[in-house]
Structure 1
Amino acid sequence: MSKRTAPAATAVAYLRVSTEEQATSGAGLAAQRAAIEAEATRRGLTIVEFFSDEGISGKAIANRPALAEAIAAVEAGQAESLMVAKLDRLSRSVADASRLLDQASRNGWRVLSADLAVDQTTPAGEAAASMMIVFSQLERRLISQRTKDALAQKRAQGVRLGRPSETPAEVTRRIVDAKARGLSLRAIAAELSEAGIATARGGMWRASTVKAVLDSQDAAALAK
């Protein structure tokens, strides 16, 4: 839908954090929100709604429900623009981010980044955004390679990998069994919540907390 149907000077905001620690503590989300609000004020924009994906990698756009909702909002004419704190919050994949920028251009809305004060609907702005995405993807791949090399070295030294779990053994077993049955992380979280089972810290289950249990040493031992 054309941005001309949207309220003038409006944007929806998208936030993303990629680690379990950030998703649990909120660190990172608050900083992104503050950056977006400051840039929106500078540009004279009103943020009509915030969407956030917690504990989700920036490797690809797929399987990010909050981002899908944010895109749907601007496509439906609820706002003129989609704003992020940094372009790598959208994706660290050149192909994915380029497709999204192209979708925005075709459908008459903008992608705005608080750390890149350019108009990405212009050729120069599009080029600047593309370069930022390229270097973001490079950074992700370098980090991934360094991590793989470090883990391979630890395995060679006989180090047991994975974090110790604070989750009771019976709950860990239930999660491992549910995953083996083919349930998604969200479905497992819903099942645990419906059963009245709290997380190790007494909170609600989310896909990110289920994944943290599955990544633990206890879960790895049960899955063998």
Structure 2
Amino acid sequence: MAPALLHEPPRAIGYCRVSTGDQAESGLGISAQRSALEQEAARRGWLLEIVTEEGASGKDLAGRPKLRDVMDRLDRHEADVLMVAKLDRLSRSVHDFTGITKRAAKRGWSVVLLDANVDTTTLSGALMANVMSSFSEYERGLIAQRTRDALAAKKAAGVRLGRPRRVSPEVTARVVALKESGLSLAAIAQTLNDEQVPTAHGGAQWYRSTVQGVLKSSVLDAAAAGPLSQ
């Protein structure tokens, strides 16, 4: 009889982040995050690799190349779990967080946030992630509705709206989050059209090219902001 195959323990990548101003904040330093991750991994019997990113803003994913590399590795099944000590170390945007959890579900890896009771390796933790995602969807709907209402009010008041050169930061964050979740340019355009989100020029129709333009602008803005951006 052949010997039974032993299952290897899950492989986790622990992500730690501080921005320049965070380094002196209590409980947010790299050493505190590392310690929390190591203790939890040891408790679960998981293999753990720590990746740190210093001087990186939590504003969006564009300015965090190490996190993007970690998710690419998870997509390639070089590890099984993304583990983070605190939600705001992963993202200060619920939109970004939702995109990450959707990407994880689609690509077959899990997300564990120690402070937010999110653990998509369990049913209850996955439920918490879905609750946060639902609130994110609701928030995006409110943003879209406020934008439409504001434009309608200005138009009713006879204000010439003109042709704005750029979309709002909220819409840009929405487009980036959808891209990070794994959607194609065409799917992102359709989503924005379904939500009736105005384009950069106040139009009602998004296309692959307009979505691509927003993504390129977000990357250029992140590069221009430099490492001191918070």
Q: TM-score, normalised on structure 2?
A: 0.50
What displacement does 1:51 show?
Answer: 1.7
What displacement does 1:87 show?
Answer: 2.0
Q: TM-score, normalised on structure 1?
A: 0.51
User: Which residue does the alignment assign to 2:80?
Assistant: 80
User: Which residue does the alignment assign to 2:206?
Assistant: none
User: Which residue does the alignment assign to 2:110?
Assistant: 110
**Alpha-carbon distance in 2 for matches of 1:46, 1:108:** 18
List runs of 5+ in structure 1 lacking aligned partners. Answer: 1-5, 139-181, 187-206, 216-224
User: Which residue does the alignment assign to 2:207?
Assistant: none
What displacement does 1:121 show?
Answer: 4.8
Q: CA separation of 1:110/1:66 partners in 2, compared to 1, >3 Å: closer, same or farther?
A: same
User: Contact conserved, 2:98 with 2:132, CA < 8 A, in 1?
Assistant: no
User: Which residue does the alignment assign to 2:41?
Assistant: 40
What displacement does 1:18 show?
Answer: 2.1
User: Which residue does the alignment assign to 2:69?
Assistant: 69
Alignment of structure 1 residues 89-104 onto 2, 5 Å: 89-104=89-104
User: Contact conserved, 2:20 with 2:56, CA < 8 A, in 1?
Assistant: yes
Alignment of structure 1 residues 21-170 onto 2, 5 Å: 22=23, 28-47=29-48, 49-121=49-121, 124-129=124-129
What displacement does 1:122 show?
Answer: 5.2
User: Which residue does the alignment assign to 1:145?
Assistant: none
Q: CA separation of 1:31/1:132 partners in 2, compared to 1, >3 Å: closer, same or farther?
A: farther
**Alpha-carbon distance in 1 for matches of 2:127, 2:93:** 16
Alignment of structure 1 residues 173-184 onto 2, 5 Å: 184=223
- Percent identical residues: 41
**Alpha-carbon distance in 2 for matches of 1:21, 1:83:** 20
**Residues 16-47 of structure 1, C-alpha deviation per residue, up to 9 Å, x if partnerless?**
11234619xxx700100000000101111111
**Alpha-carbon distance in 1 for matches of 2:18, 2:132:** 18
User: Contact conserved, 1:61 with 1:90, CA < 8 A, in 2?
Assistant: no
What displacement does 1:117 show?
Answer: 4.7
Q: Which is worse superposed, 14-23 or 49-58? A: 14-23
SS at match of 1:92: coil
User: Contact conserved, 2:117 with 2:128, CA < 8 A, in 1?
Assistant: no
**Residues 109-152 of structure 1, C-alpha deviation per residue, up to 9 Å, x if partnerless?**
001122345532556423424667879xx9xxxxxxxxxxxxxx
Amino acid at match of 1:62: A
Q: CA separation of 1:7/1:99 partners in 2, compared to 1, >3 Å: closer, same or farther?
A: farther
**Alpha-carbon distance in 2 for matches of 1:67, 1:125:** 22
SS at match of 1:82: strand
**Alpha-carbon distance in 2 for matches of 1:21, 1:28:** 7
RMSD of aligned residue pairs (Cα, Å): 3.5
**Alpha-carbon distance in 2 for matches of 1:131, 1:91:** 17
User: Contact conserved, 2:57 with 2:64, CA < 8 A, in 1?
Assistant: no
SS at match of 2:32: helix
Amino acid at match of 2:16: L
**Alpha-carbon distance in 1 for matches of 2:108, 2:61:** 20
What is the total number of aligned residue pairs between the two structures? 138
